[in-house]
Structure 1
Amino acid sequence: MTTPRTTLTATEVSAQVDARHWRVLLNRVHAAFHTGSFERGLELATRIAAVAEQLDHHPDVHLTYPRVQVSVLTHDAGGLTAKDVALAAAISAVADELGLDAEVPVLSALEVAIDALDIPAVYPFWRAVLGYVPEELPGADDPSPALLDPAGRGPAVWFQQMDAPRPQRNRIHLDVTVPHDVAEERVAAALAAGGHLVSDERAPAFWVLADAEGNEACVCTWQARD
């Protein structure tokens, strides 16, 4: 039987949460609810806080006009667990009681990827200049090569090991993680806007795209990663 601290795969979580509201992006499950007003959003956030206290499991809540975005992760497990599935279900129930609809297409998670030949040499610079902190992975023997905004607002920065210099291409690119059922539409929109496809070899995990001058971005999903 699954225990609250047993991590679940993205496939398992996607199958268990309410598909009207929730999508797995990176290592969290996310939802966005259209509230239409700041006051209505505050009401939703307050109700979410109440169920989070009842379940002793607390999400990140971002209140703006005209929506509330929520993300859930079991921090001490370093991933998604049954606790997250249960909290997502409780939040969905609150949204239904308030008559609020989800806005799946607005969901995304942004990362900045830096290709490096010597990650230990460049890592301290980026940690210092950004004021970021190392990502902590419970149970990992080595520290993660990722840096996170301690305020939880800026994009994560991670370092990709290069095996040889590649002066002909950019060494910093954006990874844009979107809901799996939005990815192909996002790729098509980028191509229609003047971009071109560099590679779809690893799709649906990610598509590599570039703008008219060759600056790259990857559109990513959780699929094909379990």
Structure 2
Amino acid sequence: MTKPNKLDEPEKLGTPEILAAIADGLGDWRRMAQPVVARYRVPGIEQGAAFLTAVAEAARAAGREPEIRLGAGFAEVTLCTVGADGGRWVTPADLDLARTVSDLAAAHALPATPGDITQLELGLDATDFDRVGAFWSALLTGSPDHVVHGDVMDPAQRVPNVWFQRTDAHETPRQRWHPDLWLAPEEAEPRIRAALAAGGELVVRYDASCTVLADPEGNRVCVCTAEGRE
């Protein structure tokens, strides 16, 4: 796994621009919370390694450092740029490399599986973001200094991001943690239906970008997509 790209002043693209690019020739890719991600089915480790070697060479030539993963039956490429303040954004350079990656996947005859792309973030109700943020940053990343725009983001991307949702002070017990599960837009509805069929409850559907579910004991989770976001 490599580090995201770093720029002092990245040219940040909004989600509508990214979704337009996906609709216009980047169908392998899906927008998650911060990055864009593509995932491909590979017949074996050799074919996957050959593809990702080609991706690494193209990225080096472009001066980029994607995050790449290779496992049983899949190869995955994640693209984003890290700003001077630690924020993660998608830039035109990321989309340029995404097009190259898609071309390489086609050349290696690897089918894209965008419905398999996911990202898990953790949301925590809190009254004092600064105090709890430093704690969770130190615990999860080894340093209290990895709080970026109010979210805990591990530079090595070993653990899910943690973000904080403001709440009034209250006595425990009460659910304070909830997962945010990011999915490809076309995968959200099937996943929601499966969860409901397995005993879940629909709490609220805000729009295509966020649906809140609860498990049979009332624990909540947000199912998120990039649709409708800025």
Do these two structures clear the TM 0.5 threshold for a shared fold by scoring above it?
yes
Moved over 6 A (4+): none
The equivalent of 2:56 in structure 1 is: 49
**How far, CA to CA, are the matches of 1:7 and 1:126 in structure 2?**
27
Aligned partners of 2:121 and 2:163 also within 8 Å: yes
Q: Deviations over 1:117-148 (max 9, x none)?
A: 12223223222322355557xxxxxx522112
Correspondence 1:32 to 2:32: no
Point out where structure 1 has 5 or more consecutive residues left out of the alignment: 137-142
Does 2:141 match 1:131?
yes
Q: Residue 76 of structure 1: which of 83, 100, 110 is its match?
A: 83
The aligned residue for residue 177 of structure 2 is: 172
Residues 72-151 of structure 1 aligned to structure 2 (within 5 Å): 72-76=79-83, 78-132=88-142, 134-135=145-146, 143-151=148-156
TM-align CA RMSD: 2.0
Q: Distance in 2 between matches of 1:187 and 1:169?
A: 24
Aligned counterparts, 1:215-226, within 5 A: 215-226=219-230
Total equivalences in the alignment: 216
* Alignment match, 2:4: none
Work out whether 1:8 is the aligned partner of 2:13: yes
Change (3 A) 1:212 1:121: same
**Aligned partners of 2:119, 2:200: CA distance in 1, in Å?**
20
CA contact (8 A) 2:146 2:154 kept: no
1:166 positional shift: 7.2
1:23 and 1:166, CA in 2 relative to 1: closer, same or farther beyond 3 A? farther
Partner of 1:139: none
2:203 equivalent among 184, 198, 201:
198
Q: What residue ranges of structure 2 are gaps of 5+ in the alignment? A: 1-8
- 1:199–1:209 contact (8 Å) kept in structure 2: yes
Give the fraction of aligned pairs with identical amino acids, expressed as a percent: 34
Give the whole-Å Cα distance in 2 for the aligned partners of 1:167 and 1:184: 33
Tell me the TM-score normalised to structure 2 length: 0.86
Q: TM-score, normalised by structure 1?
A: 0.88
